[in-house]
A and B are shown apart, each in its own frame.
Chain A
Amino acid sequence: MNRPIDITAVLNMHAEGVVAGPSLVSFDQTIETARQAGLAVEGLIVLDRASMETRQQVVGTSHKIIETDFGDPGLARNAAVSQANGLFIGFLDGDDLWYRNWLLLAHRFCLANPEMTIAHSEYNIIFGMQRHLAAHVDSRNPNFYHDFLRYNNYWDSLSFALRNIYIQYPFALTDRDLGFGHEDWHWNCLTLSVGIDHRPVPGTVHFKRRRRTGSNLNQNNAVNAIPWMTSMASFEWKMLSP
């Protein structure tokens, strides 16, 4: 009888080209670190309208690959969720990097209260066109300021949580023509509004590449996209007590 999978590690790729190389290395290292600690981890790569250069990057990988034709990061992630066997899922984007302790520490962290926790890195180090460090805040902090989510995003898309959470609250379509985007921001609002905490895992760092053009973030920002309405957007919404 096969051992249940603890974690499905998902790498979302589309047109990253060669920068997907380091991401794939960090993906492998992080999975390996978790496995060495005794966790059962499966890797899953999603090629969503992937460019030829990106396809070439994954030649020879041992991870399962699925192909999608959404051209949409949220829908691609949902496709990954539908294929995932792990109790937990962790997402990585094809131009970003995990530090190798991520899956192991995030898994430990979430086990304390799995149904109500979405894990994020403690820090994101932004490199490329910008260079800065951004701390992820804890929605459990007594001074957490939820209003901010109405006009900005606290947490990025490289989240880690129970697969069931991703099934229950799938990512929304990005529709820039209508001015709706930032699927991660929307998902954060959606999940927080039902009482699921977003929490940084101490000692973890993600590395996020900022490109000059072409990224989803840039395209969303160019049209001042805003998340689809959630109950959090309302002034009537109040944070649930922890």
Chain B
Amino acid sequence: MGLWRMISSLRRKTAHATCLSTTDNRTTRSDDLTDFCIALRPELFEHVTEQTREQIRLIVSSWEPEITGEAKRLLIALFEPLWHPNALNNFESLVRYLEFGVTRDLSPGPLFNGSIYRSRVALSELPPLLPGESAILHWLRYGAAVRIVPTDRFIDDLYYNDYPDIAVSGLWAFAHFIQYGVKEGRMLANYKAFYRTRNANIFAQEDLPPAYRVWLRQDRPDLIRETEEFCTAYEYRLHNALESGELSRILAEIGDIEPQVGGIDSIQLYLLPPLHQGDGLPFAHAEVQRRLPRDHYDTVVCVPCTSTGSSDLVACILTEALLRLRPMESVLILRVDSPKFDPIHWVPPAADCVDISDLTTALEPDVAMHFLRLIFRGVTARRVFNVNSRLCWETMRSYGKNLSKSLNTYAYMFCWNETEDGRIIGYPSEYFADTAATMTAFLTDTLYLRDELARVYRLPLQVLERIVPIFTPVQSKGLVPSVVRNAFDSEGLGCQQTVLWAGRLDSQKRFNFVQEIARLMPDVSFWCWCEILQDYSLDLNGMPDNIKMKGNFDCSHDLPEVESCVWLFTGAWQGMPTTIIELATRGVPVVASSVGDASEFIQVDSGWPIEPDAEATAYVKALCHALGNPQEATKRAERLQSRVTGTYTVQHYDETLAKLISGEMLP
């Protein structure tokens, strides 16, 4: 908030009390006056201390008694520190002026002109100014009381004409303007300000009222700041065009040709780009450039945030693969939707990862989409991958055709979700149909989702070919000996039985169901790594004692050193359970609901698949079987290990991705 705006509110509070006062101002106590001055011009009294207050009190008290309190207040209002620039700070500048400037006939600011005042006194019945007498002192003694305006920059009648509320109030226009009007944004007829939005401080930092900017340029052009120069130069020019009547004459002449043009008074707004852009783009646009380590990226990967979720792992695997395939190219991971940031270790160091979620969420949705489009253009990306960013999906949907002319657009699609009543929701159902025509390709991490989309939309071959299943490679090599064999060899199996589970606490992962299973197996420990979602309410009261709650799960680090364990997967619908794939490489026995792609590799010879609609007892039976039969558990876990490590490989992933991007048509 600029100083001027800040003090305007303070001034408004005291406006009527002062301007409408009928008390004898000569009786104003210096304490009250000091307080008033501080309230009137707080920017002059920053860091007010008792010492400061005393200093002002002494100066004000020392003034001649015939100078009224009202006149003193007007002097404080007239004083402009910018016109007295050699002091250390505003307060020192004021003190110096009050002590020495007044008696030496210096002008307090742009609205006091000693020559003009002298000429006006000469035409009045006031005591004449003596040779060498200070004009400002004379005005304080006599001129202010009879409302002599000491400048040709202000005309009372014009102000009354523009502001009828002041005209009918009986207030002196000049006194009102310098004390309150200017801070209330009341403009003088020939001093039009170009409209400035909140963001205008990117381009012009000085928050001076418009007329004062023009006067500063006239009186002290050497003091115009470089950043402000841009604006004041145009305002000065506009002021001249208005004051000379040049614009009015042109408008009058054009009015003869087209009456609809109207007069100069009908102009409601004065615009000077870029000051008027009010949608937040200037700041966001400047800020994103400041944050980006480079001006150009070949690939942008949009993610909602960075967390320990599977999609974030996929985004990083994708990034790593791109850097492997195109080592000379650059990749930017853009965190678009949410400031959430888990310090995950899998962001490839060769990629830049930048959070813009604070910028996108501060913009209106339409503007945020446009902003993202500007970033893609700005970094001259060859391709954009969307990995679950909603804003990116929205942008692809709104501007897909437009973007497709300058870059290749890809979107990852994972499983879709289901509501409790079985309705399909989620990004594939929300955005696939609207973006299918313009997206370069879609990536799915399962065959299942591609086949489902083909079935639901009856996709022609041309579209189907652009849905590319790409299996997320496992992050670790097959562990030898496997976890299960290690436990078996150490004769640990059967000693301490533990069921492991990880997932979001949402309806898809069915943690309620896990609790139900745990209750049926009171002698078995259940270790659960949970990500709590803000928009999902779950009552954890009454949770069985054998459940041990953990934090977020990182499958490459968090597998506990337990003697006998089985992984439990209770997902209610399809999707590639990335965590299971990672655990499978380590040789962990898995009991899993047979949904989506889990059913592709968890079969009776490689785990314990459970029918999707099975009850808890079916899981209990399978878990007991796995925990109680170490040889069978070892056999199935190692078969699963072999299947996963042969399919979910970096080589497969890279081949698929390389084929995809080598076929790019643009640019």
Contacts and interface: CB of A to CB of B under 8 A. Distances in A.
B215 to A, nearest CB: 20
23 contacts: A22-B257, A22-B258, A97-B261, A132-B271, A133-B270, A134-B270, A137-B273, A142-B226, A143-B230, A145-B230, A147-B286, A148-B274, A150-B285, A150-B374, A152-B281, A179-B401, A179-B402, A224-B370, A233-B374, A233-B378, A233-B380, A235-B295, A235-B296
B273 A134 contact: yes
B405 interface: yes
Interface stretch (B20-28, B243-251, B581-589): B243-251
A127 interface: yes
A148 B402 contact: no
Given A134-B271, A142-B226, 11 more contacts: A22-B258, A26-B254, A135-B273, A137-B272, A141-B230, A147-B282, A147-B286, A148-B273, A152-B277, A233-B380, A235-B379
A132 B258 contact: no
Interface string A137-173: 1000111110110111010000000000000000000
Given A99-B253, A143-B229, A151-B374, A236 B380 contact: yes
B377 interface: yes
Closest 5 CB pairs of A and B: A179-B402, A143-B230, A22-B258, A132-B269, A148-B274
Nearest to A135: B272
A99 B241 CA distance: 15
Contacts of B289: 147, 235
A25 B257 contact: yes
A131 interface: yes
Given A179-B401, A226-B402, A132 B267 contact: yes
B286 A97 contact: no
B401 A151 contact: no
A178 interface: yes
A145 B273 CA distance: 9
A125 B251 contact: yes
A125 B261 contact: yes
Task: Choose among B273, B380, B406 the residue with the greatest number of A CB atoms under 10 Å from its CB.
Answer: B273
A148 B270 CA distance: 18
B352 to A, nearest CB: 13
A2 interface: no
Task: Choose among B230, B257, B260, B271 the residue with the greatest number of A CB atoms under 10 Å from its CB.
Answer: B257
The DSSP consensus for interface residues of chain A is: mixed
Contacts of A137: 234, 272-273
Given A179-B399, A207-B254, A236-B295, A224 B267 contact: no
A210 to B, nearest CB: 11
A174 B258 CA distance: 30
Task: Choose among A29, A132, A154 the residue with the greatest number of B CB atoms under 10 Å from its CB.
Answer: A132
A92 to B, nearest CB: 13
Nearest to B284: A151
A77 to B, nearest CB: 22
B364 interface: no
Interface of A: 22, 25-26, 29, 97, 99-100, 122-123, 125, 127-128, 131-135, 137, 141-145, 147-148, 150-152, 154, 177-180, 202-203, 205, 207, 209, 224, 226, 229, 233-236
Contacts of B572: none
Nearest to B268: A131
B233 interface: yes
Given A178-B402, A226-B402, A141 B233 contact: yes
A26 B250 CA distance: 12
A132 B272 CA distance: 11
Nearest to A154: B273
A135 B274 CA distance: 10
Nearest to B405: A178
Interface string B279-312: 0011001100100100110000000000000000
Task: Choose among A125, A133, A202 the residue with the greatest number of B CB atoms under 10 Å from its CB.
Answer: A133
Contacts of B194: 135
A142 B366 CA distance: 32
A233 B405 contact: no
A128 B192 CA distance: 21
Task: Choose among B258, B266, B277, B286 the residue with the greatest number of A CB atoms under 10 Å from its CB.
Answer: B258
Contacts of B270: 132-135
B203 interface: yes
A186 to B, nearest CB: 13
A235 B354 CA distance: 16
B258 A133 contact: no
A25 B254 CA distance: 10
Contacts of B229: 142-143
Contacts of A29: 257
A207 B377 contact: no
Nearest to B204: A143
A131 B274 contact: no
B646 interface: no
A131 B263 CA distance: 10
Contacts of A127: 258, 260-262
B267 A234 contact: no
A54 B377 CA distance: 39
Contacts of A131: 262, 266-269
A98 B9 CA distance: 44
Nearest to B400: A179
Nearest to A100: B253
Contacts of A100: 253
B488 to A, nearest CB: 58
B141 interface: no
A234 B261 contact: no
Contact of B269 (A133, A203, A207): A133
Contacts of B271: 132-135
A229 to B, nearest CB: 5
A16 to B, nearest CB: 12
B372 to A, nearest CB: 12
A152 B280 CA distance: 12
A93 B253 CA distance: 20
B377 A233 contact: yes
Given A25-B257, A148-B282, A123 B377 contact: no
A180 B402 contact: yes
A207 B247 contact: no
B423 to A, nearest CB: 32
B227 interface: yes
B203 A145 contact: yes
B377 A152 contact: no
B266 A203 contact: no
Contact of A224 (B254, B262, B268, B366): B366
A234 B258 contact: no
A154 B230 CA distance: 14
B565 interface: no
Nearest to B231: A143
A236 B297 CA distance: 11
